[in-house]
A and B are shown apart, each in its own frame.
Chain A
Amino acid sequence: MIEVRWHGRGGQGAVTSVELLAVAAISAGKYAQGFPSFGPERRGAPVAAFSRIDEKKIKVRSGIYEPDVVIVLDASLIGLVNVIDGLKPEGKLIVNTPKTPEEIKKELNFSGFVATVDGTGIARKAMGVPIANTTMIGALLKVIGVMGLEEMKEAVEHRFGRIAQKNLNAMKRAYEEIKTSN
Chain B
Amino acid sequence: MAKRIGMEVAVAVAEAVGQCDIDMAAVYPITPQSHIAEHLSDLVADGKINAEFVTVESEHSAMSAVIGASGTGARVYTATSSQGLMLMHELLPIASGMRLPIVMGIANRAVSGPLNILNDHSDIMPQRDSGWISLFAENGQEAIDLSIQAFKIAEHKDVQLPVCVNIDGFQLTHMVEPLEFPDQELVNKFLPTRVPYATLHPAKPVTMGAFSMSDYFTEIMKAKDEALKNSKKVILEVWDEWAKMFGRSYKPVETYKAEDADILMLTMGSMGETAEMAIDGLRAKGVKAGLIKLRLWRPFPFAEIKAVVKNAKKLIVTDRAVSFGGPGGPVFSEIKSALYAEIQRPAIYNYIIGLGGRDVTVPDFVHMFEKVIADKANKAVDTYEFWGVRE
Contacts and interface: CB of A to CB of B under 8 A. Distances in A.
Interface of A: 18-19, 22-27, 29, 31-36, 38-40, 57-63, 65, 155
Considering residues A18, A34, A65, which has the most beta carbons from chain B within 10 angstroms of its beta carbon? A34
Nearest to B115: A40
B175 A61 contact: yes
B4 to A, nearest CB: 6
Given A32-B178, A33-B175, A35-B176, A63 B6 contact: no
Nearest to B360: A62
Given A19-B176, A26-B4, A38-B357, A62 B274 contact: yes
Contacts of B118: 38-39
B136 to A, nearest CB: 14
Contacts of B277: 59-60
Contact of B271 (A19, A61, A155): A61
A82 to B, nearest CB: 18
Interface in B1-48: 4-8
Contact of B174 (A23, A25, A36, A57): A36
A35 B175 contact: yes
B279 to A, nearest CB: 11
B362 A60 contact: yes
17 contacts: A22-B177, A33-B175, A34-B6, A35-B170, A35-B174, A35-B176, A38-B118, A38-B119, A38-B174, A38-B357, A60-B274, A61-B171, A61-B175, A61-B273, A61-B274, A62-B362, A63-B359
Contacts of A25: 6
Contacts of B177: 22, 26, 32-34, 58
A47 to B, nearest CB: 13
Q: Is the interface of A mostly helix, strand, loop or mixed?
A: mixed
Given A39-B118, A39-B357, A62-B361, A23 B176 contact: yes
Given A19-B8, A26-B5, A61 B270 contact: yes
Nearest to A62: B361
Chain B interface bracket (under 10, 10 to 19, 20 to 34, 35 or more): 20 to 34
Interface string B266-293: 0000110110110000000000000000
A65 B175 CA distance: 17
Nearest to B5: A26
A23 B177 CA distance: 8
Given A23-B6, A39-B118, A39-B357, A59 B174 contact: no
Nearest to A30: B178
B284 to A, nearest CB: 15
A65 to B, nearest CB: 8
A39 B8 CA distance: 16
B174 A32 contact: no
B185 to A, nearest CB: 23
A55 to B, nearest CB: 12
B306 to A, nearest CB: 27
Contacts of B170: 35, 38
A62 to B, nearest CB: 4
A22 B6 contact: yes
A62 B359 CA distance: 6
A26 B357 contact: no
Contacts of A31: 178
A18 B176 contact: yes
Interface string B350-391: 000000010111101000000000000000000000000000
Contact of A33 (B5, B176, B276, B359): B176
A64 to B, nearest CB: 10
A63 B8 CA distance: 17
Contacts of A36: 174
A33 B170 CA distance: 13
A32 B359 CA distance: 20
A34 B361 CA distance: 17
Contacts of B176: 18-19, 22-23, 32-35
Considering residues A25, A29, A62, which has the most beta carbons from chain B within 10 angstroms of its beta carbon? A62
Contacts of B7: 23
Nearest to B119: A38
Contacts of B174: 35-36, 38
A130 B276 CA distance: 43
Contact of A26 (B119, B178, B364): B178
Nearest to B169: A38
Contacts of B276: 59
Nearest to A29: B4
Contacts of B274: 59-62
A59 B117 CA distance: 24
A27 B6 contact: yes
B125 to A, nearest CB: 20
B20 to A, nearest CB: 24
A10 to B, nearest CB: 15
A57 B177 CA distance: 10
